[in-house]
Amino acid sequence: MTTKAPSPVAEAPAESLEKIAYTAVADIPTQEPNDRHRLGYNVWMWLVDRKGTLAQAVQTAGSRLNMPTEQVVAIISQRLKEKGIAVQ
């Protein structure tokens, strides 16, 4: 039995919405890494669709955060503004 090497993974460009979303949540303290991935996905979906508010996207993620939700929303909002993305 032989095992093949995994397929190479191409990094998303730095200016892509998914890279911006996942970078914005990269160091948010969560109980598990998967909670952070889920948070990044929900922020990305919010950036794509702009349905609801950023706070609703964070709440919808259901991530187990190690800091208050309001503080997380403020951090993500600030990071998105630094990238030139308007947050209502």
Count of structural domains, the chain: 1
Helices 69-82, 33-49: crossing angle, 10 deg rounding: 60
Q: Model pTM?
A: 0.86
Would you say residue 14 has pLDDT above 90?
no
* Cα-based torsion angle of the residue sequence 69, 70, 75, 79 in order, rounded to the nearest 10 degrees: 100
Average pLDDT over residues 17-22: 94
Would you say residue 1 has pLDDT above 70?
no
Q: Is residue 24 one of the residues assigned to a domain?
A: yes
The parent domain of residue 72 ranges over: 17-82
% of the chain with per-residue pLDDT over 90: 81
Q: Which two tokens stand for residue 26?
A: 């990269």
Q: Is residue 61 within 8 Å of 42, Cβ to Cβ?
A: yes
User: Average per-residue pLDDT in the chain?
Assistant: 93
Report the largest interatomic distance among the alpha carbons of the chain, rounded to a whole angstrom.
56
